[in-house]
Every structure is written in structure tokens, then in C-alpha cells.
A and B are shown apart, each in its own frame.
Chain A
Amino acid sequence: MPRASTLPAPVFDLTHHTLGNGLRVLLAPDRSAPVVGVAVLYDVGMRSEPLGRTGFAHLFEHLMFQGSANLDKLEHFRYVQASGGVFNGSTHVDYTDYHELMPSNALERALFLEADRMLSPRITAENLANQLEVVKNEIRVNVMNRPYGGFPWLVLPALLFDSFANSHNGYGDFADLESATVDDARDFFARYYAPANAVLAVAGDLDVDETLGFVETHFGAIRTRRAPKRPSFAEPALTAERRTTHPDMHAPIPAVAIGYRVPDPVGSLDTHLAGVLLAEVLSDGDASRLQRRLVHRDGLVTDVAAYLGEFGDPFDERDPSAMTITAHYPDAASLEAILRAVDEEIAAIAEDGLAAGELDRVRTRLVSVLLRELDSVMSRTLDLAKFELIFGRAELIAELPARFAAVTEDAIRAAAAQLRPDRRAVVELIAGGAR
């Protein structure tokens, strides 16, 4: 078994640049395959949506694909794909990303496509009406027409957090989405999509000097605008348990989501990393505490998962963040027994610590998962941009194995001690579907 101190670490050849208009640029050459990834992350997500405009950050993400200064509708997709590449975009609580993975002979084209929409997306009433219907169908397929749709990410924050920013439905209420206007979209673009509010990462088969030239040519001329000041969204830990129920007309069996507010991932990074390891100790695989207790020993649940970050990525959001434990279970009457078992397992870690070898094996696996993700040029590109945007340092990725190796058992016990019943929010999903 490798010792934690000898864990392999990712290696990057990484350079930083900042354009005159404030755009932060990261270049990470790796000439091993003729593939290049391009990612632009804007520092705005669901948390920054205006009151009465739930779901707007995501709707706006769709509008960014509808044509731009030099490109008609549909042309963005066609240029990427006819170059042999793939694209996507996604909206997160703290940022929105746009990315392409291309054969490296399309690098300048990809940079042009991203720059063209940073310059000026074509926001028209027709495009807005069309994408409103597309987004409503996205919500129908992923939430309204699906068992456990949006559970728990659409319902737990509403109980766990208090401010509109942290607690609202990030996919959006249909009424809010339908009332969005072209002016709203233009304002949102003007306010949040400034070059100085974005990070551009390019990784893979590239020459640094040549790529910097392309970046300067295509992004350099975009007008400088002031980046908005990001307000604090922080909320203190709960002091009393909160509970609610959530009906699901399609779900055949009940489910539960237990949420805890956790310390600032950025400001208390080492505490956060202890929380990340704790989540793995709790639920990663058949040797984990909650699987053994709830699934194998007690047979109370059909599955259980513990994770940090609203979408299961512990490095995806700033303060506030959450630890979530979810489970599906066949017998609706067993909720209290499940909660008791979860509490006992967490308390056992806080009080008795870990078994011999437990921390090492969990840490080794976590580093292996990190490396595996970085094997993909697209994931690597997105991760570099994300760590730069959220943590201010893309280099942190390469340091994570050593940072995880330095987390002590005491730190994990301390993280477990924070997950007390009086600090949790519990959403019980009531199954209304046929069995």
C-alpha cells in the first residue's frame, strides 16, 4: 500500500497572463495528443440572480449560444462540430462555464468563438422566446417528469439557507422565467460578463507564445468594463434543526436529504479538505461507514451518499457550502431510525476516531480519482479555470495530494463533531408514485 506521503501528484506546465481589459488567462501546454480544451468561466452563477428572476443565470447561459457579433444563430454549434469538436456550457451556484474540446488544428477558431460572444451575444426576443421553451423542457425532463428530479439540489437549499441568493430554486420557477425580458438579459450581460469578471483557460496541444497571440488578437479588443464586486453570501451554521417534507408524485419510495452548513471552503481550505475526506469515509464504497451500517448491516436504505458542494463537487463553490447526506429507503416509517444511525456513525468518528488504515486508503483513492479526472483534457481545462476563479490559484490542483496528506485524523474528528443534529436541515421526500 502506498503511504499517503508518497501519493502521486498531477504535474502541469502552467502560465498566467492578464490582458489589458482584465481577462485572466491560463495556458497549460501538453503536446501528448492533438487535442485542446478551451474554457471560459464567468464569475456569476445562480446566487447572483435578481429577486423575481429565479433561473435567470441558466436561461442566460442558453442565450450565449444563440449567435454573437459575427455569428448567426446555429453557427456557433456548427463551427465547433464541423471542426471535429464538442461543446457545452453549465451554470453553477458561483459561476457559469462555456467550453470546447477540439482537435488542436481548431484552436484559434475556438478562441474566436468564445471571444465573439464575450464581445456581444445576439440577445433577441425571438431567441429568448425559443430558449425559454427549451429551458422549460429541460426542467420538465430533469425535474417535473422524473422521479427524484432535482432532489435534493432544488429543495434542500430552501430549508438549509435563509437568503434569497442561497435558498432559491436555481432552475427557476416558470413564472419567473416567462417574465424575463431582453432588457433583463442585456443588463445581466453588461453587469456580469465583463472580461475582467472571467477566466479563460486553454490546455492541451498548444504553443504558449502562439496561443497568447491568438488570445490577444481575439479577446484583447473587447472593451474594458469594471468587474462587479461580489457580495458576501455567508450564513452562519444553524443552531436548531429544521425539517420539511417534499412531495414527489413520481417517486416510488421515500428519500431523505440531510444538509449541514460547513466552513468557508476558500477561507478555511484545510478544514474543508478534512470535510472532503470525512465525506469519503462516510460513503465512498462498500467499506465506508454509512454503507456498512445503513445498507449492509441494518438494511434500512437502498443507497446512501455523503458529499460536499451542491452538485457533489467540493471545489465548485465559495462560502456558504454544504455537506449533504442523501438516502433512498423502502419503508417510510424508518426515517427516524435512519437519522439515528447516521448520527451514531458520525458521533463514532468524532469520539473514537478512525480505524487503522482507514484514512490512508480513503486518501489514496481520492487522489486516484483526482488524477483520473485530469486525464481528460476537457476536465483539466475546466478544473484549472475553476480553481483559479474560486480559489484564486489554479496551482492548487497540483498541491491537493500533499494538502490531503497533511490532513490529520484529529481534523476529521473535528469535522465530524460539527455535524450535529441541531445543526442540520432534513428534507423528507414523500413518495407519491406507484410501487
Chain B
Amino acid sequence: MSSPVPALTRPRKARKLTVVERVLDSGLRVVVVRKPGVPLAELRLRVPFLSARPTHPARAALLSDTMLTGAGSLDRAGVASAVQALGGELSIGVDADRLVIGGNVLATNLGSLLGLLATVLTEPTYPQAEVTTERERLVERLTIARSRPGVVASEALGHRMWGAHPYALDLPQPEAVQASTAAQLRAMHAGMVRPSDSVLIIVGDISAARVLDQVERVLAQWTGHPAASRVPALPDPGPAPTLVIDRPGSVQSSIRIGRGALSRSDPRYPALQLANLVFGGYFSSRWTENIREDKGYTYGPHSRVEHQVLGSSLLFDVEVATEVTAPAMLETRYELGKIASLPVTEAEVEAVRQYAIGTLALSTATQAGLASTLAALSAFGLGLEWITEHPARLSAVSVDDVSAAAAEFFAPSRLVEVVVGDAAAISAPLAALGPVATDA
């Protein structure tokens, strides 16, 4: 019987985008993309922020929370009012790799928002009173974050995979936040918020050439090089017993599994990307179809390849009902062992290939999505060409390539596992499946 499901028609090609690029005298690399649509502009300024100093994560988090609380002659409400009046928004995010100042604005007001950004970059004030307020708020927010089992599990997995490397210490300790001062934030800004290794991405319904000149003019006063910083290479996580962290009375267990993976520029990366999708990277994956759609153990498992500057990771996340923790782990290891030891099928590879190509186009179809993707790629020296050329790389991957990547990266014997849950209920059943370590 022939399927009643309509066939796909010939795909239409996406319109080619205009992109212009310039490296300013300060070393700041500026990338501007004209993307017509709504009359807005998106900006992402990516400043490298990697550091091995033990005080760094707390200061970086507090700096990102206070950078917009005073600039030039403007106080906190003054900055916020000025941005809002432009139909704009500025926000700051930081992680172990980078600080990103993100923003969006009515396209006609982009110049004014860039002017405010320049003031924030070159004349930040870090007022004492605001630093004190934000220090208390940050401590409360960290307390709330660590009351979430998924955060506890991810933090523990980071420690387990990366030891004492800065990548394991990304979430600051409250004591270190309490010890951070306004003077230290000013010094950190002066030392690290510098243009020479930074990238500014602007995407919107704008004239790319004109915006490039505007940026050069407005950001002329932002200069300098960040202080040199030495960060050790990522260690290679070895196999270890499953770590169980007790959360008494927890109605679910948070399972986090990980290992090192390939970066985007590795020639085998497209095969790994597809192998991950087949395993657990999209809804129609083996893992989801097994433990959600067949067994009902979970609302949803997810696996993904996460890219950081010093290395990439293959990560698996799932929350399962307490009483089925061991059975869910068993099924997870079964699927891991199966994909590592038996070839994937051609139908599976074709499905994930189309999914990867299609969703790359969908995720870069908005101004905001394209800006964020370009900002993320910029850390690896990649740009718009990576987005336009990646479908061809995915098309060239063979079924054997995917099976080989799966065999190398999904072997359960090489994975690091952490489970946060009610230890009294889950430790013994988990121990029946393999070695378990407990963390009081």
C-alpha cells in the first residue's frame, strides 16, 4: 500500500545574505549582516573571558550583573531608561569562555544603542551601592540555582569530568561572591573587557556598509588588549563508578552522563553530530522512543554535543521517576551499547541528515537566531560560511561514518555518570547494574 503522506517537493534555496566584515584599529572584529524582515537590529559583542584564577568565576558573574548599573553620567535607571526609549534592550551573560553583551533595538535607533554600548564599555562606574545590592541578589540566585537537582547534577558531572579545571568551576561559590568588591570589578573590567580579541556581530534590517562605518566611529575610544591569561588544557575524563548524590525524598532522579567529543572543525564532526541525533538528539531518537514513548519513564531525555573553546563534550541529560531509576539506566546503557556495537541504518541516517540541515536553516531564519549562532561560531574562527557550507558536509556523511562515530563516542564503558536522587531508594538497584560511588 502506498503511503498517503504527501511527498516533499523540491526545496527552495534560501536568499543569499549580505555580510561585511572589518577589523578595527583596536583589533575588534566587526561582522554586519543585512537581514531584512522586521525593522530591528540585533547585536552580540563577544569578549573572551577564560581565566584560571580561582577568584574569576565569582567576579565575572558579579561583573556581568553590575556592568549596566552605571556608565558615564548615567546611573542604573538612567542606562535602563535610555535603552528602553530606543525600543532597545541590553543584557549581559557570562560563562567560563566568554562574556556576551547582547542587545536588540529598533533599526532606526541602532546608532544610539551603539553609543550607549560605547559608554558602558569605556566609562563603566560599578557604583558601590549597586555592587552591594547585586552581590546579595547573586548569592540568593546561586542558592536557588543549587536547589534545583539538575544544576546539582550538572555541576557534579563537571567536577567529575574536568576535575579542578576552570570548566568545572563555572558556577560561582557564594563565599567568593561575598568577597568580591567594586574595586575588583573595575580592575577586572579594565583588564579583560578589551576589544583586541573580541567580536561584534550585528544582524538586522540595516545597511551593512553604513553600520560598519558607524561602529568604527562610535567605538573608536574602546581600545586595548586583555591581560594575558594561561589556562590549562582540558583533562581527558576517564571511566569511573556511577556517582550517586543523595537528595532525600526526591520524586525523580536527575541523570547526567558525559565525555569529551569533537569540535566543529574536526572532519569527523558531521558524522558525530548525526550519530548523536540518532541516539538522543531529537524527538525521533532511539533513546526518546524507548524510555519515553515506550516505557514512560521520563518526560524527555536529551543528548547533545556542547562546544567550548578548549574542547567539546558529548552530554546526556534525563530526569526519571525515582522508582524506575535503575531500569531507566539499564535501558540507557542498552541503547548506548547497541549504537556503539551495531551499525545504524540508512533510514535513520537520512532522517537525521534532513533534520540537521532543516533545523540549521530554521534556527538561523530569525535575526536573533542568526546573531546568536554567528556569535557562538566566532569563538572558533567560523562565520556565515560555516552555516552555508555545513549542509554539504552533512550530505557527504556515509552510514558507515555515522556508525564509526557512534562506536567511538557512545561506548558506555567510556562515559562518566552522575545521578542525583533519593539514595535510599536508588543506590541498591543502581549497584545491581554496576559499580556505584556515593557522595555524602
* Chain A interface residues toward B at CB < 8 A: 1-2, 7-8, 10, 32-35, 70-71, 73-74, 77-79, 81-87, 101-109, 112-113, 129-134, 136-138, 140-142, 144-148, 205, 249-253, 284-288, 292, 295-296, 299, 302-303, 328, 330, 357, 360-362, 364-365, 367-368, 371-372, 374-377, 433-435
What does the 1/0 interface line of B130-143 toward A look like (CB < 8 Å)?
Answer: 10010011001101
The answer to whether B84 touches A287 (Cβ under 8 A) is: yes
Residues of A within 8 A of B368 (CB): 372, 375
CA distance A299 to B132 in the complex (A): 10
Residues of A within 8 A of B431 (CB): none
The answer to whether A377 touches B365 (Cβ under 8 A) is: yes
Q: Tell me which of B133, B137, B361 contacts A84 (CB under 8 A).
A: B361
The answer to whether A302 touches B105 (Cβ under 8 A) is: no
The answer to whether A134 touches B296 (Cβ under 8 A) is: yes
Contacts A2-B108, A105-B9; A296 near B293 (Cβ below 8 A): no
Contacts A83-B358, A134-B296, A374-B38; A364 near B147 (Cβ below 8 A): no
Residues of A within 8 A of B69 (CB): 286
CA distance A35 to B352 in the complex (A): 18
CA distance A286 to B106 in the complex (A): 19
Contacts A205-B12, A364-B84, A365-B87; A81 near B40 (Cβ below 8 A): no
The answer to whether A109 touches B12 (Cβ under 8 A) is: no
Q: Which of B189-197, B282-290, B395-403 contacts A (4 or more CB under 8 A)?
A: B282-290
CA distance A34 to B68 in the complex (A): 38
What does the 1/0 interface line of B280-324 toward A look like (CB < 8 Å)?
Answer: 001110000100111111110000000000000000000111000
Residues of A within 8 A of B9 (CB): 105, 107-108
Contacts A73-B293, A112-B5; A2 near B109 (Cβ below 8 A): yes
- Select from chain A the residue with minimum beta-carbon distance to B350: A82
- Select from chain B the residue with minimum beta-carbon distance to A1: B85
CA distance A375 to B87 in the complex (A): 15
Residues of A within 8 A of B37 (CB): 32, 375
CA distance A141 to B289 in the complex (A): 19
The answer to whether A372 touches B40 (Cβ under 8 A) is: yes
The answer to whether B283 touches A296 (Cβ under 8 A) is: no
B8 within 8 A of A: yes
The answer to whether A141 touches B358 (Cβ under 8 A) is: no
B144 within 8 A of A: yes
Contacts A140-B319, A375-B368; A33 near B144 (Cβ below 8 A): no
* Chain B interface residues toward A at CB < 8 A: 3-15, 36-40, 68-69, 76-81, 83-89, 104-106, 108-109, 130, 133, 136-137, 140-141, 143-144, 147-149, 249-252, 282-284, 289, 292-299, 319-321, 350-351, 354-355, 357-359, 361-362, 365-369
The answer to whether A296 touches B299 (Cβ under 8 A) is: no
Closest CB in chain B relative to A132 CB, distance in Å: 7
Closest CB in chain A relative to B54 CB, distance in Å: 24
The answer to whether A299 touches B133 (Cβ under 8 A) is: yes
Q: Tell me which of B40, B87, B105, B149 contacts A145 (CB under 8 A).
A: B149
CA distance A104 to B362 in the complex (A): 11
Residue pairs across A and B with Cβ atoms less than 8 A apart, 27 shown, are A74-B289, A81-B282, A81-B355, A83-B358, A84-B357, A84-B358, A87-B283, A107-B9, A109-B5, A112-B6, A131-B296, A137-B297, A137-B299, A138-B299, A140-B252, A146-B148, A252-B144, A285-B84, A302-B137, A302-B141, A360-B85, A361-B84, A368-B40, A368-B87, A371-B40, A371-B106, A372-B368
13 other A-B residue contacts (CB within 8 Å) besides A73-B293, A368-B40: A1-B85, A81-B351, A83-B358, A108-B6, A138-B299, A252-B143, A296-B130, A302-B137, A364-B86, A364-B106, A365-B88, A368-B89, A371-B38
Residues of B within 8 A of A101 (CB): 362
Residues of A within 8 A of B79 (CB): 286
The answer to whether A286 touches B293 (Cβ under 8 A) is: no
Residues of A within 8 A of B354 (CB): 81-84
The answer to whether B292 touches A134 (Cβ under 8 A) is: yes
Closest CB in chain B relative to A306 CB, distance in Å: 15
Residues of B within 8 A of A32 (CB): 15, 36-37
Q: In this complex, which of A79, A132, A360, A361 has the most chain B Cβ atoms within 10 angstroms of its Cβ?
A: A361
The answer to whether A375 touches B40 (Cβ under 8 A) is: yes
- Select from chain B the residue with minimum beta-carbon distance to A30: B37
- Select from chain B the residue with minimum beta-carbon distance to A297: B133
Q: Tell me which of B77, B136, B149 contacts A292 (CB under 8 A).
A: B77
Residues of A within 8 A of B104 (CB): 368, 372
CA distance A1 to B306 in the complex (A): 41
Residues of A within 8 A of B137 (CB): 295, 302-303
- Select from chain B the residue with minimum beta-carbon distance to A73: B293
CA distance A287 to B357 in the complex (A): 42
The answer to whether A140 touches B321 (Cβ under 8 A) is: yes
The answer to whether B362 touches A86 (Cβ under 8 A) is: yes
CA distance A140 to B150 in the complex (A): 13
- Select from chain B the residue with minimum beta-carbon distance to A9: B39
Closest CB in chain B relative to A152 CB, distance in Å: 16
Closest CB in chain A relative to B39 CB, distance in Å: 5
Contacts A78-B351, A86-B362, A295-B133; A361 near B294 (Cβ below 8 A): no
CA distance A71 to B5 in the complex (A): 9
The answer to whether B11 touches A147 (Cβ under 8 A) is: no
The answer to whether B38 touches A286 (Cβ under 8 A) is: no
Closest CB in chain B relative to A398 CB, distance in Å: 12
The answer to whether B81 touches A287 (Cβ under 8 A) is: yes
Residues of A within 8 A of B299 (CB): 134, 137-138, 140-142
CA distance A145 to B237 in the complex (A): 30
Q: In this complex, which of B87, B140, B351 has the most chain A Cβ atoms within 10 angstroms of its Cβ?
A: B87
CA distance A360 to B106 in the complex (A): 14
CA distance A357 to B84 in the complex (A): 11
- Select from chain B the residue with minimum beta-carbon distance to A292: B77
The answer to whether A299 touches B136 (Cβ under 8 A) is: yes
- Select from chain B the residue with minimum beta-carbon distance to A431: B147
Contacts A10-B38, A286-B68; A109 near B6 (Cβ below 8 A): yes
The answer to whether B133 touches A296 (Cβ under 8 A) is: yes
Contacts A79-B5, A81-B284, A249-B249; A365 near B147 (Cβ below 8 A): no
Residues of A within 8 A of B40 (CB): 368, 371-372, 375
CA distance A7 to B108 in the complex (A): 11
The answer to whether A364 touches B80 (Cβ under 8 A) is: no
Residues of B within 8 A of A70 (CB): 3-5
Q: Tell me which of A330, A357, A365 contacts B140 (CB under 8 A).
A: A330
Q: Tell me which of B38, B80, B130 contacts A287 (CB under 8 A).
A: B80
Q: In this complex, which of B137, B141, B295 has the most chain A Cβ atoms within 10 angstroms of its Cβ?
A: B137
Q: Which 5 A-B pairs have the closest CB atoms?
A: A84-B358, A133-B296, A368-B87, A286-B80, A287-B80
